[in-house]
Amino acid sequence: MVGLDSYALTVGIVVGIWVLMALGLNIITGYAGQVSLGHAAFYAFGAYTTAILTTNLGWSWFVTMPLSVVVAAGLGVLLGLPSLRLKEDFLAIVTLGLGLVTQSLALYLPFTGGSLGIGGIPYPSVGSFSFGTDTFFLMVAILAALGVALSLWLDRSWIGLGWRALRDDELAARAMGLDVTRLKVLAFAIGAGYAGLAGSLLAHHLGFIIAYNFGFNESITALAMIVVGGMGTVRGALLGALLLGMAPELFRPLAEYRMSVYGALIVAVMVFQPGGLLGERSWVARRLRARSLKWRAKHG
Amino acid sequence: MAEPLPVLLEIHGLTRRFGGVTALSEVSFGVAAGSITSLIGPNGAGKTTLFNVVTGIIRPTGGRVVFEGRDVTGWGAHHLARAGLARTFQNMRLFGTLTARENVIAALGARMNRGFFGGLRRSQDPKLVKEAEKLLAFVGLERQAGEVARELPYGMQRRLELARAVALEPRLLLLDEPTAGLVQAEIEDLLRLIDDLRRRGMTVLLIEHNMGLVMGHSDHVVVLDHGAKIAEGDPAGVSADPEVIEAYLGREDDE
């Protein structure tokens, strides 16, 4: 990693973790249309699974990392169950509540370290080789790229089409033979799995986690990322994660006003590009479509 | 008709209450295989409620629904759709952000009832695309395949919804006021399509508000009023029934 100092790499790691968070929420909310304000709960489960198993039991990261995905996905199935009965604003409030409950559990349960958190989470290593910031960054980048590939694949798959049908009209989807229950649970499981992986990476990256890392703020940040970037698109989730993931660094001089800058950014996007900067109906997407049509008209 | 046709759908004493309101009260009738049966009645007669119960959108309070000899009362909507019962909606419920082609593929894919790994396969599978385009051509939308459903003109949306329902290859097709909001020429096109589907062996149960319109196209007519069946029979007999005439004419002022 010649030329990249450890500061840049650290920012890169954080952005990569947020990419996974945003991609996961994009599956639940963007693809399948199920509003979730509790995405940080899955993030927390991934992080705590990794933290507890590596520090207490000394398990290796390549066991705990997949396990964090599985545990978070399992929680996703559980938290997804309310979506079978509740819609939109009600679902938003229930997921918000479940997110807060998860955070309080992390704060009060004995084995999560309570308000002291869990420290001493080791950096990943293989045999005698210990990961440095550069190799860890590389791993995060590869995992984020795999996350992008899976999201793109799902988007083009029949499940992805089912999700979009369900998002457009749930009742019609049922009447057309789509197993809406399975589609919803699947969206929550996969989306939560992404967040679980993000949480596991965060735990290894920071070496120390505490309940405050997984609050309402984190859920809202993930939501803001996909809203700003363009709900339901991978490119939107990527741009959102990049912009808002780097924002704390970019706006470091404005640290005090950071939330105001966030807020203003979101308001501006909502006013001028309500579908997100790179969403289906955004200015950029329309320009690109028009251009490709013109190109095709010209070159047959 | 000399020989009585086998009954495809039997409805026995179907009742649905919403709180204190009885939307359907002990309704019984049968739909003969291969027929076009029309369900008529004034607004609020319970026609759409009956559709919703039969297609599993809502559960009945009492009574039974038997389809192809199987008791399907209380089955979920998606099971019924896969079992051969497809419908359209009075207010049209297309997948608005999907293209016309994708709308049809969604139904085609559901019929194939794929597992998780089958679900990971491409939705724009060449075989599905070809089949979808055949169905779109059938309803005259071959040139609109790539257009987003909600941006299509109203009449085309109606036909797209029909194509989507036909994609399920149903034995029984339930159409909820398919001609609502269409102009005369479009209505005639649509009725021709429905006749076509019947010739292909589909049985059609049709809700129609406009009585004059169903007469030439139905084998059997069932009349609902205030949630109860007040008459059934062939179109001529039903239209001469004094109770039916009263249901329609007697309350025209409060509609």
Using the Cβ of A159 and the Cβ atoms of chain B, whether some distance falls under 8 Å is answered with yes
Using the Cβ of A161 and the Cβ atoms of chain B, whether some distance falls under 8 Å is answered with yes
Between the two ends of chain A, the Cα-to-Cα distance in Å is: 44
**What part of A 69-108 touches B (C-beta under 8 Å)?**
none
| In contact, B164 and B87? CB cutoff 8 Å | no
| In contact, A134 and A1? CB cutoff 8 Å | yes
Residue A215 three-state SS = coil
Rounded to whole angstroms, how far apart are CA atoms B236 and B219?
10
- Look at residue A113 in the predicted model and tell me its pLDDT: 84
Using the Cβ of B97 and the Cβ atoms of chain A, whether some distance falls under 8 Å is answered with yes
- Look at residue B4 in the predicted model and tell me its pLDDT: 59
- B92 CA: distance to closest CA in chain A (Å): 9
Q: Which residues, other chains included, contact B201 with Cβ-Cβ below 8 Å and sequence gap of 6+?
A: B34, B171
Which residues of chain B make contact with A280, given a CB cutoff of 8 A?
97
Residue B233 three-state SS = strand
Where residue B252 falls among pLDDT bands split at 50, 70, 90? very low
Model confidence pLDDT, tens digit, residues B133-142 = 999 999 999 9
Using the Cβ of B121 and the Cβ atoms of chain A, whether some distance falls under 8 Å is answered with yes
- B243 CA: distance to closest CA in chain A (Å): 34
Q: What is the mean pLDDT of residues B59-83?
A: 94
**What part of B 72-91 touches A (C-beta under 8 Å)?**
76-78, 81-82, 86-87, 89
Per-residue pLDDT of chain A (300 residues; tens, 9 = 90+): 445 688 899 999 999 999 999 999 999 999 999 989 999 999 999 999 999 999 989 898 889 999 999 999 999 999 888 888 887 788 888 889 999 999 999 888 888 888 888 988 988 888 778 888 889 999 999 999 999 999 999 999 999 999 999 999 999 999 999 999 999 999 999 999 999 999 999 999 999 999 999 999 899 999 999 999 999 999 999 999 999 888 877 777 776 777 777 778 878 888 888 888 888 878 888 888 888 888 888 876
| In contact, A167 and A17? CB cutoff 8 Å | no
| In contact, A282 and A289? CB cutoff 8 Å | no
The shortest CB-CB distance from A175 to any of B77, B96, B98 is to B77
- B53 CA: distance to closest CA in chain A (Å): 12
Using the Cβ of A169 and the Cβ atoms of chain B, whether some distance falls under 8 Å is answered with yes
Which residues of chain B make contact with A160, given a CB cutoff of 8 A?
123
Which residues of chain A make contact with B77, given a CB cutoff of 8 A?
171, 174-175
Using the Cβ of B110 and the Cβ atoms of chain A, whether some distance falls under 8 Å is answered with yes
- Look at residue B1 in the predicted model and tell me its pLDDT: 45
Using the Cβ of B170 and the Cβ atoms of chain A, whether some distance falls under 8 Å is answered with no
Helix or strand holding residue B176 (H, E):
strand B172-176
Q: In what order do the strands lie in the sheet with B62-67?
A: B21-32, B7-18, B62-67, B70-71
User: Is the per-residue pLDDT at B21 higher than 60?
Assistant: yes
Instruction: List the single best residue of B95, B114, B121, B128 to mutate versus A (max A Cβ within 10 A).
Output: B95
> What average pLDDT is seen over chain B?
89
- Look at residue B125 in the predicted model and tell me its pLDDT: 86
Residue among A172, A169, A171, A150 at smallest CA distance from A159 = A150
ipTM of the complex: 0.90
| In contact, A210 and A115? CB cutoff 8 Å | yes
- Look at residue B230 in the predicted model and tell me its pLDDT: 92
Using the Cβ of A148 and the Cβ atoms of chain B, whether some distance falls under 8 Å is answered with no
Q: For residue A154, what are its two tokens?
A: 């799902």
**How many interface pairs between A and B have CB atoms less than 8 angstroms apart?**
102
Helix or strand holding residue B65 (H, E):
strand B62-67
Using the Cβ of B94 and the Cβ atoms of chain A, whether some distance falls under 8 Å is answered with yes
Helix or strand holding residue B22 (H, E):
strand B21-32
- Look at residue B96 in the predicted model and tell me its pLDDT: 95
Nearest CA in chain A to B91: A172
- Look at residue B44 in the predicted model and tell me its pLDDT: 85
Q: What is the mean pLDDT of residues B175-204?
A: 91
Helix intervals (H) in chain B: 47-54, 77-83, 100-111, 116-119, 126-138, 154-166, 184-199, 211-215, 235-240, 242-249
| In contact, A44 and A211? CB cutoff 8 Å | yes
The shortest CB-CB distance from A157 to any of B110, B122, B164 is to B122
Q: Distance of alpha carbon A267 from its chain centroid, rounded?
A: 21
